[in-house]
C-alpha cells in the first residue's frame, strides 16, 4: 500500500471539496490546515485519512474474531436441570432439523453469510483500490453502497440473545445467559461496520479511466 503520491499521471490538483455531510462544495485552500465545512462544520477531507490502512486493520481484526464467534457458544440455556450451550451454527442446525427452514435460512444469512460477505467484499474493495483501480468501478461502488446499507442488520442476533437473557429467568426451570461467543460476534459486526466506515469510496474513482468520460 502506498501512502505517498507518485507524481506521474497525477490528475489535476483538486480545487474543490465536497462536504460528506451536507454536500456543500467549498474551495480548497492551498495551506495544509484542517478544514471544516463552512455550513455544517463537518471535517472536510480530500480523502479519508489512512483509509485503506484502517480498513485493512479492522478487517483483519474482524476475521480473527469471526472464528471464536462461530466456535464459542453465544448462549447458554438452562432448562430443567440441564445446561446447554448453543453455538451459532448449532442453533441454525437445530432450526433446520426442526423443520423451520425459513427461519434457519434467515438466521444463516444474517449471522453467518452477511458478516462473511462483508469482510470479503471490503477486502476486495480495499485490494482493488490499490492494485486494480480501473476494474469494474461502477459495480464496486454499488457493492460498497450495499455494504453500508446492510451492515447494522447483523446485530439482530445480539439483540435476540440479550433480550432472552434478560427475560427468560425462571430459576431452575429455565434461564438463558449470554456466552463468550456473543461478545466476539458483536465485535465482528462492529468491526466490519468500522471497516466499511473507514473505507473511502472516492478511492474507487481516483484513477483516471481511459474509457471514462
Using the contact rule CB under 8 A, the part of the chain among 59-67, 115-123, 140-148, 159-167 near other proteins is 59-67
Is 11 a residue that touches other proteins (CB under 8 A)? yes
Q: Least distance in Å: CB of 122 to other proteins?
A: 14
Query: Interface with other proteins includes 25 (CB under 8 A)?
Result: no
- Whether residue 167 contacts residue 23, with contact meaning beta carbons closer than 8 Å, is answered with no
Q: Could you tell me which of 101, 98, 140 has the C-alpha nearest to residue 122?
A: 140
Least Å distance, CB 148 to other proteins, is 19
Stretch that binds other proteins, among 5-13, 97-105, 137-145, 147-155 (CB under 8 A): 5-13
- β-sheet bridge partners, residue 5: none
Closest CA to 188 of 127, 114, 128: 114
Query: Does the protein bind other proteins through residue 199 (CB under 8 A)?
Result: no
Contacting other proteins (CB under 8 A), which of 18, 22, 36, 84?
A: 84
Is 5 among the residues that bind other proteins (CB under 8 A)?
Answer: yes
Dist CA 123 CA 55 (whole Å):
8
Site for other proteins in 86-115 (CB under 8 A): 90
Contacts of 209 by beta carbon, 8 Å cutoff, 6+ apart: 134, 137
C-alpha cell at 130: 490499490
Q: Which CB sits closer to other proteins, 125 or 203?
A: 203
178 scored as a contact of other proteins (CB under 8 A): no
How far does Cα 165 stand from its chain's mean position? 26
The distance of closest approach from Cβ of residue 7 to other proteins in the complex, given in angstroms and rounded to an integer, is 5
The Cα–Cα gap between 113 and 67 comes to: 14
Amino acid at each position: 500500500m502506498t501512502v505517498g503520491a507518485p507524481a506521474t499521471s497525477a490528475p489535476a490538483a483538486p480545487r474543490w471539496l465536497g462536504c460528506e455531510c451536507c454536500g456543500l462544495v467549498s474551495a480548497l485552500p492551498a495551506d495544509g490546515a484542517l478544514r471544516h465545512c463552512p455550513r455544517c462544520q463537518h471535517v472536510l477531507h480530500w480523502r479519508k485519512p489512512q483509509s485503506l490502512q484502517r480498513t485493512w486493520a479492522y478487517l483483519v481484526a474482524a476475521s480473527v474474531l469471526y472464528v471464536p464467534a462461530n466456535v464459542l457458544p453465544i448462549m447458554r440455556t438452562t432448562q430443567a436441570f440441564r445446561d446447554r450451550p448453543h453455538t451459532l451454527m448449532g442453533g441454525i442446525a437445530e432450526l433446520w432439523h426442526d423443520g423451520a427452514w425459513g427461519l434457519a435460512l434467515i438466521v444463516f444469512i444474517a449471522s453467518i453469510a452477511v458478516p462473511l460477505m462483508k469482510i470479503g467484499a471490503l477486502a476486495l474493495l480495499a485490494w482493488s483500490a490499490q492494485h486494480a483501480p480501473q476494474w469494474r468501478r461502477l459495480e464496486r461502488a454499488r457493492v460498497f453502497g450495499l455494504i453500508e446499507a446492510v451492515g447494522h442488520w447483523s446485530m439482530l442476533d445480539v439483540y435476540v440473545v440479550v433480550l432472552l437473557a434478560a427475560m427468560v429467568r425462571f430459576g431452575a426451570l429455565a434461564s438463558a445467559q449470554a456466552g463468550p461467543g456473543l461478545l466476539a460476534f458483536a465485535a465482528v459486526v462492529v468491526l466490519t461496520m468500522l471497516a466499511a466506515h473507514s473505507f473511502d469510496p472516492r478511492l474507487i474513482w481516483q484513477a483516471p479511466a481511459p474509457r471514462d468520460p
